[in-house]
Amino acid sequence: MTILSFFILYYFVTIKMQKTKKGIKMARKIVMTSGKGGVGKTTVCANLGIYLAKLGFRVLLLDVDIGLNNLDVVMGVENQVVFDITDVIMGKCRAKQALVQDKAISSLYILPSSHSYSKAKVQGEHIKNVIDTLDSSFDYILIDCPAGVEAGFHRAVFPANEAIIVVTPHLSAIRDADKVIALLDDYNIEYKGLVINRMRGDLLLNGDLMTVENIVTALNLPLLGVIPEDDAIGSSCSVGARVQSIESARAFTLLSENIHNGSRKIFDCTYKYRGFMGYLKRNIKKHV
Ligand SMILES: Nc1ncnc2c1ncn2[C@@H]1O[C@H](COP(=O)(O)OP(=O)(O)O)[C@@H](O)[C@H]1O
Ligand SMILES: [Mg+2]
């Protein structure tokens, strides 16, 4: 626990120090990454954006999954897309022209990726150039990393200076995350933190899932947040970032606060499965 506290304190203090460079306010550029696909990078990226923007920050969500754009779909803005990131890179428009403002939160913007441009042509350096032109206009630039560790990974990680590693409480996801954490050493990533997604409190208390402490120990990263498994997220297909239970909304709020000010408050997925009523809920869930 002491080592964990040290990591969190270090993360908080150093982040505060690097937020201004030569007097110009720079955005924190955070990439969401994982080893395994489908663990919730896009979901965490979209929701973190929403909740940081709700805290009053100017947030840009950047989708660099060229060819398989889905951040705009998850955010429900795909019909508003006029230009995308490859149009900016090719000089067809300015970066600001390609931004799509969120319908509900005015300080939240999405820079969509393209589904028609050859992936090979877009380099990490191109994405970084685009980010550089937007840097001073935002407090946070959240980059959604595609699955895998090939060119798409490089494109997403290259412009970032912080990384959030998203895992689910499953061995395969944790093993793959470990490999990605090692790869991040080759980049300009100064801070790494962990988000455990799709945690199930009932299975945790039954001893059927890896515990939060064991995952943190295995990956040796500061824990930024735990997000519960939420049927409302899983079942909503077009606006996944907005249909949520009270529990996951709370978990994302705590995650945003922790990332911003190092509050160290982590959502407890087990709380509603404790006590006699919780025991009944757990058993009902187990047998349906
Ligand atoms: N906490 C959660 N509870 C339930 N379903 C989730 C949760 N997080 C993500 N999902 C679902 O898992 C699937 C994969 O999530 P996604 O964010 O697209 O993963 P990735 O970007 O890592 O490939 C999506 O259908 C999403 O709705
Ligand atoms: Mg994704």
pLDDT band at 117 (very low <50, low <70, confident <90, very high): low
Atom of ligand 1 nearest to the CA of 70: 18
pLDDT score, position 8: 61
* Distance of alpha carbon 242 from alpha carbon 154, whole angstroms: 29
pLDDT score, position 269: 93
Closest ligand relative to 231 C-alpha: 1
Report in angstroms the alpha-carbon separations of 205 from 200, 227, 273, 274.
9, 16, 8, 8
pLDDT band at 12 (very low <50, low <70, confident <90, very high): low
Whether pLDDT at 254 is above 70: yes
Q: Which residue has the higher pLDDT, 122 or 221?
A: 221
DSSP 267: -
What the block records as the tokens of 271 is: 């709380």
- Write the residue with the smallest CA distance to atom 10 of ligand 1: 234
pLDDT band at 238 (very low <50, low <70, confident <90, very high): very low
Task: For residue range 81-101, list pLDDT tens digits in order.
Answer: 999 999 999 999 999 999 999
Report in angstroms the alpha-carbon separations of 151 from 9, 64, 126, 145.
33, 11, 13, 11
Torsion of CA 103, 229, 148, 29, to 10 degrees: 50
Q: Is the CB of 168 under 6 A from ligand 1?
A: no
At the topology level of CATH, where does 2-287 sit?
Rossmann fold (3.40.50)
pLDDT score, position 119: 58
Whether pLDDT at 7 is above 70: no
Atom of ligand 1 nearest to the CA of 36: 22
Q: Which residue has the higher pLDDT, 26 or 10?
A: 26
* Over residues 214-239, mean pLDDT: 87
Helices marked H in the chain? 2-18, 41-54, 71-74, 85-89, 95-98, 124-134, 151-157, 171-183, 201-205, 212-219, 231-235, 246-261, 275-287
* Distance of alpha carbon 228 from alpha carbon 273, whole angstroms: 13
pLDDT score, position 11: 60
Q: Is the pTM of this model over 0.85?
A: yes
Q: Is the CB of 229 under 6 A from ligand 1?
A: yes
Give the residue, out of 43, 45, 73, 165, with the most ligand 1 atoms within 8 A of its beta carbon, to mutate for a pocket test. 43
- Write the residue with the smallest CA distance to atom 24 of ligand 1: 234
* Distance of alpha carbon 144 from alpha carbon 69, whole angstroms: 10
Give the residue, out of 233, 243, 252, with the most ligand 1 atoms within 8 A of its beta carbon, to mutate for a pocket test. 233
Are 119 and 31 in contact by the 8 Å Cβ rule? The answer is no
Q: Is the CB of 39 under 6 A from ligand 1?
A: yes
pLDDT score, position 234: 72
pLDDT score, position 118: 64
Report in angstroms the alpha-carbon separations of 228 from 70, 140, 175, 192, 232.
22, 24, 20, 21, 11
pLDDT score, position 24: 72
Q: Is the CB of 180 under 6 A from ligand 1?
A: no
pLDDT band at 176 (very low <50, low <70, confident <90, very high): very high
pLDDT score, position 284: 82
Q: Could you give the percent of the chain with pLDDT greater than 70? A: 87
Q: Which residue has the higher pLDDT, 16 or 114?
A: 114
Whether pLDDT at 204 is above 90: yes
Cα 100 → chain centroid: 19
Closest ligand relative to 156 C-alpha: 2
pLDDT band at 202 (very low <50, low <70, confident <90, very high): very high
Q: Around ion ligand 2, which residues have CB less than 5 A away? A: 41-42
pLDDT score, position 114: 82
* Distance of alpha carbon 212 from alpha carbon 224, whole angstroms: 11
Q: Where are the domains of the chain?
A: 2-287
Atom of ligand 1 nearest to the CA of 147: 23
Q: Which residues pair with 193 in a beta bridge?
A: 164
Mean pLDDT of the residues in the chain: 88
Q: Could you give the percent of the chain with pLDDT greater than 90? A: 65
Are 241 and 74 in contact by the 8 Å Cβ rule? The answer is yes
What the block records as the tokens of 121 is: 């042509």
Q: How far is the CA of 140 from the centre of ligand 2 (A)?
A: 19
Q: Is the CB of 148 under 6 A from ligand 1?
A: no
Q: Which residue has the higher pLDDT, 141 or 282?
A: 141
